[in-house]
Amino acid sequence: MKKSRILGVGHYVPERTVTNDELSQLMNTSNEWIIERTGIESRNWFTPGVDTVTNMSKKASEMALERAGVKAEEIDFIVFATISPDYFMPGNGVLLQHELGMGTIGALDVRNACSGFLYALSVADQFIKTGMYKKILVVGAEIQSSALDKSDEGRSSSVIFADGAGAAILGAVETDQPGILSTHLHAQGKYVEELYCKDPGSSREVRISQELVESGSFFLKMNGNMVFKHAVVRFMEVIQEALDTNRYDKSEIDLLVTHQANLRISQYIQKQLNLPDKKVFNNIMNKGNTTAATIPIALSEAWEQGKIKDGDLICLAAFGAGFTWASALLRW
Ligand code: UT7
């Protein structure tokens, strides 16, 4: 048996920064409301014709490869988490594989929204533990801003979602080495319509029509309040599950990196776990909520800022559309 360890992390966000004041010109909102209710001051949105999910994820992957000291040709497999692939089909993993010149290695897409990166990490971890692959590129990348209804009607979602890409290189190590201790995955499809993008769905005669476009069913729809209430409960459960499985106490966590959906959610979890500020990493203030890209971007930034050191106990947790939620506990 082997264990998997994160060897390097990288990220990329589009150059265009969108401030709350800019959003106030598009919809009935304000800098004060957004900061008070979400903690977000600015976010990055893609520029059409410049940024793609593929080229952003390529940049993030190259950074992760360099930091890991791993060459592209050493990668055995790609797991790509996104709900916003460049094409409706196939997925984004194959596009990245081609761009990085990774021959004919397998490329798998994971569509689990905000929990996508942790689902992808868990899949990659299993492949490494069984000995099937030695080095896997795990990516989370999204362009969410093109799915947003930037009118008053869509304002509660439009102010939080953003674009970007993050990547991690997972490598096989001996079981006595630091690495991923456990991953925990959950879902509850009953709540799918509380946060979803209905179209272009396949179960209709014509996937795209003027009528459908005008109905607004291509926009991301979120019942923010409902999602918030479930998120705070599930985050706590899945973090506790990871701690219990490995017989750790919450006080032993060196750094908690949660999916960045709303600063109030992160602060609630921090308070429940009684963790000091230095043990919690938040970047929602200037990155917004980048769905599957959030956790790898946050990990990459935390590492850059010297907030993650070898041997640290890191707890990752996410909650989002599906509903799906997940956690991972690892020794860096
Ligand atoms: O990443 C995937 C998982 N997603 C999440 O975890 C998101 C969880 N939900 C949230 O973060 C919050 O629910 C939101 C940020 C989306 C909304 O904040 P909220 O504090 O739950 O606001 P609300 O939906 O309860 O709305 C409160 C009021 C309403 O007005 P009335 O009915 O009280 O007059 C809304 O119309 O705030 C209004 N409102 C806004 N006002 C200014 C909603 N969005 C905005 C806005 N600007 N952008």
Instruction: Identify the domain boundary among 173, 201, 217.
Output: 173
pLDDT value at residue 309: 95
Query: Is residue 246 located within the same domain as residue 167?
Result: no
The domain tally of the chain equals 2
CATH number of the structural domain spanning residue 137: 3.40.47.10
CA of 8 to the centre of ligand 1 (A): 36
For residue 266, the model assigns a pLDDT of 97
pLDDT band at 260 (very low <50, low <70, confident <90, very high): very high
pLDDT of residue 33: 98
- Are residue 8 and residue 150 in the same domain, yes or no? yes
The pLDDT confidence band at residue 270, using thresholds 50, 70 and 90, is very high
Return the active site residues. Answer: 114, 259, 289
Question: Average pLDDT in the 167-174 region?
Answer: 98
Domain match, 50 and 101 both = yes
Same domain, 38 and 138: yes
Same domain, 52 and 15: yes
| pTM, two decimal places | 0.97
Q: Pick from 173, 195, 225: which residue ends a domain? A: 173
**Amino acid present at 236:** M
SS3 per residue for the chain: CCEEEEEEEEEECCCCEEEHHHHHHHCCCCHHHHHHHHCCCEEECCCCCCCCHHHHHHHHHHHHHHHHCCCHHHCCEEEEECCCCCCCCCCCHHHHHHHCCCCCCEEEEECCHHHHHHHHHHHHHHHHHCCCCCEEEEEEEECCHHHCCCCHHHHHHHCCECCEEEEEEEEEECCCCCCEEEEEEEECHHHHHHEECCCCCCCCCCCCCHHHHHHCCCCCEECHHHHHHHHHHHHHHHHHHHHHHCCCCHHHCCEEEECCCCHHHHHHHHHHHCCCHHHEECCHHHHCECHHHHHHHHHHHHHHCCCCCCCCEEEEEEEECCCEEEEEEEEC
Mean pLDDT, to the nearest integer, of 61-89?
Answer: 98
Q: Do β-strands 255-258 and 106-110 pair in parallel, antiparallel, or remain unpaired?
A: unpaired
225 and 250 both lie in a single domain: yes
The answer to whether residues 124 and 203 belong to one domain is no
pLDDT in the model for residue 134: 98
Q: Is pLDDT larger for residue 1 or for residue 140?
A: 140
pLDDT tier for residue 251 given thresholds of 50, 70 and 90: very high
Judge if the beta carbon of residue 284 lies within 6 A of ligand 1: no
- What percent of the chain stands above pLDDT 70? 100
Say if residue 260 is in the same domain as residue 151. Answer: no
Residue 160 CA: nearest ligand 1 atom is 15
Of 111, 142, 173, which residue sits at a domain end?
A: 173
Confidence of residue 286 (pLDDT cuts 50, 70, 90): very high
Measure 156 CA to ligand 1 centroid, in angstroms: 5
pLDDT class for 170, splitting at 50, 70, 90? very high
Residue nearest to atom 2 of ligand 1 (CA): 320
Q: What is the pLDDT of residue 153?
A: 95
155 and 278 both lie in a single domain: no
200: preceding bond cis by omega (within 30 degrees):
yes
Mean pLDDT of the chain: 97
Task: Establish whether residue 266 lines the binding site of ligand 1, counting it when its CB lies within 6 angstroms of any ligand atom.
Answer: no
Q: How far is the CA of 70 from the centre of ligand 1 (A)?
A: 43
pLDDT in tens, 94-137: 999 999 999 999 999 999 999 999 999 999 999 999 999 999 99
**Mean pLDDT of the region 21-26:** 97
Residue-number span of the structural domain to which 251 is assigned? 180-331
Mean pLDDT of 8-25: 98
Closest atom of ligand 1 relative to the 224 alpha carbon: 13
| One domain, residues 187 and 66 | no
Whether residue 155 is found in the same domain as residue 271: no
With bands split at pLDDT 50, 70 and 90, how would you rate the model's confidence at 225?
Answer: very high
Question: Does 161 lie in the same domain as 44?
Answer: yes
